[in-house]
Amino acid sequence: MGKLLYLVYYLSITVGSFLALRLLWSVASGRKLRWRAFAMFIVISGLISAYYYWETSRRLDVLGEARIDYARQPGPVIGIAVAWPENQDSFVDGARRAVKELNTTSHELNMQDGSKHPYQIELKEFRYTSKNVGEVARKIAQDDTIAGVIGHPQLENALQAAATYNASNLLFLSSGVRSPLLTDYKYPTVFRLTPSDVEIADVVKGFANSYDLFNLVALSPRNDYATDTYQIYKGAMNANGEENRVDAPRLTQFVSYSPNTIFFADVITDLADNKADLVLLLGTSAADARIIEQMRRRGVNTSVICLPEMRDEVLRVMEITPENTSMDVYVISFETDIYAESADAAVTENNILDGRAYEAVKLMVAAWSQIGTVEAGPVALALRALPRWVWGNTTVDFEDNGDIKDVAIRVEKLDLSLPGKSKIVYSGEQ
């Protein structure tokens, strides 16, 4: 039916375009036109077009119904989709590790007829760019053997994908989005597994206070997200009226730069003149790590703290720049460190995986097994209603809107001499 509909729609558009040109030619040449026949064709073409758009608009609903039917009678292998940007491998590696561990044992679902249904997990990988994220989300939604999705670290991409996944009855665990805007829509099947910027800002304040880092400077690319994030951090620092105290952390300056900046000499000079104790780097892309590279090459001794997305790139920068013991680099973290196995099953310096993916896969499968179904609706309802879900080495609960709560946020110092290349120096209380 779908192919026939596309064919008829194509023919109607083609013939309609031809007749429209015929009308213009008749008017221009003064020839008569059969208006009644032309009007009848326009009406028929309009009805066909209306039917086409109606079928298109309800396609996700049809996919959702098909997925529910599949969830009630699933196959022996159930899919989890991982949607992540191209050229970023650690997240996908973490998901692979989780699936490998989970598939060492068989899992069971409690079917409606009272029987037990054993199943294994298949990881389906989908890489995307900012230009094709919508296409990738629709491709995932069209596969009814996929019961859940993890990934989408960028807010704009996650928002676009969330609408598709929710409409097609897919459980979506977003890993990386800190903004509550994702869950403000209150999609029933959408969850945010990352603490908010407000929670992280409170931990940064506690960390700075513990290490007597009182003069803080925010540094970011010039965009709306970074500006809003700066206001969040500024509010956290001034929450108790401590902005005028010399013995309390406070933001004294906001330094921004063009997202296309390559050389940061002027920015680094501003930081040096300000004599900052700690720089909050609010950038989230690999390009933003260049400033740390140039600070290290110039021997700047100001400490820097980065957001979680920057960890891998900052470590790479540290490896290619001269050792600078006077410049401490920290990163926010809230997931369990997961290590890949080398040939001798030992932990090496270069095989750390992304704990967010690892834990998200484990959480999703735990929910399926505990609730006894992979149907997104009942599983999502249980995640919100039931307490103490396993999350790495701890347990978490979810808010009614799908936000995660009670996640332990940490500050880690990046250190190339350690096997995992970091050590925890501060654990925030939430």
Domain that holds residue 414: 197-333+410-427
pLDDT confidence band for 36 (50 / 70 / 90): low
Co-location of 257 and 358 in the same domain:
no
Angle between helices 2-29 and 35-57 (to 10 degrees): 150
Domain count, the chain: 3
Co-location of 121 and 170 in the same domain:
yes
Separation CA 160–CA 154 (nearest Å):
10
98-145 pLDDT per residue, tens: 999 999 998 899 887 788 899 999 999 999 987 888 899 999 998 989
Co-location of 158 and 178 in the same domain:
yes
pLDDT for res 46: 67
pLDDT confidence band for 68 (50 / 70 / 90): confident
Amino acid in the structure at residue 355: G
pLDDT confidence band for 1 (50 / 70 / 90): very low
pTM: 0.79
In Å, what is the CA distance from 222 to each residue of 229, 258, 403?
12, 5, 28
Separation CA 46–CA 56 (nearest Å):
15
Q: Is residue 71 part of a domain?
A: no
Rama region for 87: left / alpha / beta (φ>0; ψ in -120 to 50; rest)? left
Triad 287, 293, 296: Cα angle to 5°? 160
Triad 219, 133, 53: Cα angle to 5°? 135
Co-location of 39 and 188 in the same domain:
no
Residues 228-234: what's their mean pLDDT?
A: 86
pLDDT for res 351: 47
User: Could you give the percent of the chain with pLDDT greater than 70?
Assistant: 78
Q: Is residue 342 part of a domain?
A: no
> Is pLDDT above 90 for 279?
yes
Co-location of 224 and 293 in the same domain:
yes
Alpha helices in 30-127, H assignment, sequence order: 35-57, 59-72, 90-102
Separation CA 403–CA 166 (nearest Å):
16
Q: Is residue 420 part of a domain?
A: yes
**Number of Cβ within a 10 Å radius of residue 257:** 18
Q: Is residue 292 part of a domain?
A: yes
pLDDT for res 356: 86
